[in-house]
Structure 1
Amino acid sequence: MKWGWSLICKRRFRGIIFDMDNTLLSSRIDFDRMKQEIFDFLVSKNLINQETVLDVHTVSTIIQKAKESRNYDDKANKQVWEIILDIEKEGMKDACLEPGVVDLLTKIYSNYILVVLTNNSNEAAVSALKEHTIDKYFDYIVTRDHVVELKPSPGGVKNILKKFDLKQKEWLLIGDSWIDGRAAINGGISFLAYKANEQELKEKNIEYIGNINHIKEVFEFI
């Protein structure tokens, strides 16, 4: 038995935030395609410079950059999110749970505050969690509909911190990407990487307490 369970009163964290795509669920969302299509659309509308270096941006930062244009209006914003939603829906069709997720959630949900933080729409996130019958384990779900800026912005983390009466040091965010790590760091909480690209984490200056290859390894850190 792990020390976190035998000495539950001494556990390191009290709240755990999970990224959804490729952390809880093995989704097939093509984020590279999403970024490219958003970029192409914004360039076609003269809302972003074609010379913009795509590699240094996420979908979120590309949109934020486009919003700097005085021509970025409600119509353009609606079209952007329609592109994103279509790709999300396509990618979630064959999504399945990451191995060990149900076992982990079953064992920890009564002793920890559990939250999902995702850049997906509320519609897509709730639907996916319900389809795989794991929605019941979570106390709160934060999607892009709840924040002004997406991860890597810490907006979602700050939303969660305001919701629950826990200290920053009592929260752990688990995710597969550097954008999860940046959201955690800028939100003042710890980050545990899951199957993350360590070279990318290093390049992005992401501090993390570990990089696990199986979700069951979460027990070693909480």
Structure 2
Amino acid sequence: MDNTLLQSRINFAEMKRAIFQLWVDNGIVSPTLEWEKHTASQLIETGRKAEQMTRELEQAMWDAVTAIEKEGMHGAVLEQHAVEVLEELKNRYQLYILTNNAYAAAEEALNETGIASYFDEIVAREQMTTLKPSPSGIHYIRSRKPDWPVSAWTMIGDSWIDGKAACDGQVAFIAYQGNEQDMERNGVVPRAYIRDLKELLTVLEMCEQG
């Protein structure tokens, strides 16, 4: 969702720093951990798996993360051509949002930008057992349509964690303005790289034609 449909201002560096500091203060990670080299979702899952984790501590983490998300999502604007592409896609496909953000933050941003109605469901972190790059969210969405073959699904995202979730969830992945080096470094091989959302329509048509 972020940087694929919406241009949000979520301060991920601040989010990672806040999570890291909370974990350090509670003895979950070492102060020498190079937190800058981890994604926010990796830092979150490190804490959630720790023996020292408590319900109260996890809630404190989610509270801090959600506050940063809401601040960054407020006033988000759409990526170029987002509405016209969604109009086309809605006529041909069922559309789902899959985001590591909280449901409330995602719903608010999608409503603010006027595109919430294009989606059959918003799948946020509350529906996942583990955040992306885990395929947990992919599995959840596929469970909504158990009779659909794996070939019926395609995920579009901007980051390697999106691509990794898609690959491990055994669905095709299209990278929008993705960093090719990050993709390769993490073993992600997109079906296609696109720089403009309008290219997505052509790529999907080509995929359908085999």
Tell me which amino acid in the other structure corresponds to 1:123.
A
Q: Secondary structure at the match of 1:211?
A: strand
Q: State the match for 2:120 in structure 1.
A: 139
TM-score w.r.t. length of structure 2: 0.92
2:97 is matched with: 116
Tell me the C-alpha RMSD between the 2 structures.
Answer: 1.2
Instruction: Give distance in 1, aligned partners of 2:70 and 2:49.
Output: 28
Equivalent position of 1:207 in the other structure = 189
- Secondary structure (helix, strand or coil) at the match of 1:214 reads coil
Partner of 1:9: none
Measured after TM superposition, the shift of residue 90 of structure 1 is 1.1
Paired with 1:67 and 1:81, the residues of 2 have a C-alpha distance of 11
Partner of 1:89: 70
The amino acid of 1:34's aligned partner reads M
What is the distance in 2 between the residues matched to 1:210 and 1:90? 32
Secondary structure of the residue aligned to 2:95 is strand
Alignment size in residue pairs: 203
How much does 1:58 deviate? 1.9
Equivalences for residues 120-199 of structure 1 within 5 A = 120-164=101-145, 165-199=147-181
Task: Name 1:217's counterpart in structure 2.
Answer: 199
Superposed, which structure 2 residues align to 1:45-60 within 5 Å?
Answer: 45-60=26-41
Question: Does the 8 Å contact 2:177/2:193 carry over to 1?
Answer: yes
Structure 2: unaligned runs, 5 residues or longer: 205-210
Between the aligned partners of 2:143 and 2:132, the Cα distance in structure 1 is 17
CA distance in 2, matches of 1:35, 1:88: 12
Aligned-residue offset at 1:190: 0.7
Q: In the alignment, does 2:64 pair up with 1:78?
A: no
For residues 18-70 of structure 1, give each alpha carbon's deviation from its aligned partner in whole angstroms, at most 9, with x where no partner exists. xx101010111111221121111111111122233325522222222223332
Counterpart residue number, 1:37: 18
1:104 and 2:90 equivalent?
no
Question: Which amino acid is 1:66 matched to?
Answer: G
> Aligned equivalents of 1:171 and 1:111: distance in 2?
13
Q: TM-score scaled to structure 1, two decimals?
A: 0.88
| Overall identity of the aligned pairs, in % | 38
Cα offsets for 1:107-142 (capped at 9, x unmatched) = 120210111000111101111111111111111110
**Between 99-108 and 68-77, the greater mean CA deviation after superposition:** 68-77
Unaligned runs of 5+ in 1: 1-19
